[in-house]
Amino acid sequence: MTRNTIALGAIAALTGAANADTLTETASITSDGQMFVFEFDMVGMAAGEGTLTIDALGDYSIVPPSSEVLSWDVDGIASGEGFAAEAFMGEVDLFQNLVSQSWSISAGDMASITADGMVTITLINDGTVGANNPGEDYITATLSYPVPAPSAMALLGLGGLAAARRRR
C-alpha cells in the first residue's frame, strides 16, 4: 500500500459516514397494464449495499404455489421475484392484499447500477394479478443506498490532486 493510498483512506475516514439516496415511484395497478417501468436520472454513485422495497396493494396470492406474483429488475443487474409469505400484512383474502418486501442488492451491483447516473426499476405483475379494485390498487418501488458525503468527495478530490502533484 502506498503512502498516498493510506492518506486517501485516512481522509475518507475523517469525513464521516455516507449520506443516503432514496429513489421512489408509485403507479396504479390497472387492467391496461401490469408492467411498470420507473426511470430515474442524475442519481448519485452508490457507496455500498442497497435495499429495494416493494409495497403494493392488489390481487397477490399467498397460496402456494402462487401464480399471482411480481418479478422485479434493476438495470438488468439485480432481479428477483416476490412475495414471500412474510410480506403479506394484515388479513389475507383472495382478491386484495397489502404486501411489503425488501431485497438487498450487493455493493458491487449497486456500483454498477448507479455508474451511469441513471437507474431503471422494472416491475412486472404476472398476468393473473387482476385489477380488481381500480383506483385503489397500487405498487411502489423504493431503492435506498448510501452515497459518499459531499465533504468526503471534496476531500478525496483534493487528496487525489495532491497525489497527482507528488508524482510529477
Q: Please give the Cα distance from 145 to 127 (Å, whole number).
A: 31
pLDDT, average across residues 93-115: 93
Q: What one-letter code names the amino acid at 77? A: I
**pLDDT tens digits, 136-165:** 999 999 999 999 987 655 555 555 555 455
Cell numbers 451491483 correspond to 109
Mean pLDDT, the chain, whole residue set: 82
In angstroms, what is the C-alpha Rg of the chain? 21
- 121 vs 61 pLDDT, higher one: 121
pLDDT at residue 47 greater than cutoff 80: yes
pLDDT at position 130, please? 79
* 3 state SS for 108-134: HHHHHHHCCCEEEEEEEECCCCCCCCC
Read off φ and ψ for residue 82, nearest 5 degrees: -140, 170
Helix and strand totals (H; E) in the chain: 3, 9
Helices (H), the chain: 3-14, 107-114, 150-167
Q: Which long-range contacts (CB under 8 A, 24 or more apart) does 88-96 make?
A: 88/60, 88/62, 92/62, 94/61, 95/59, 95/130, 95/132, 95/133, 96/57, 96/58, 96/59, 96/132, 96/133, 96/136, 96/137
Residue 14 has pLDDT above 90, yes or no: no
pLDDT at 95: 83
> pTM for the whole thing?
0.77
Please give the share of the chain, as a percent, with pLDDT higher than 70: 76
99 strand-pairing partners? 56, 88
Q: How far is CA 143 from CA 22, 80, 91, 123, 124, in A?
A: 6, 14, 27, 13, 16
Kindly indicate the confidence band of residue 9, based on its pLDDT and cuts at 50, 70 and 90: very low
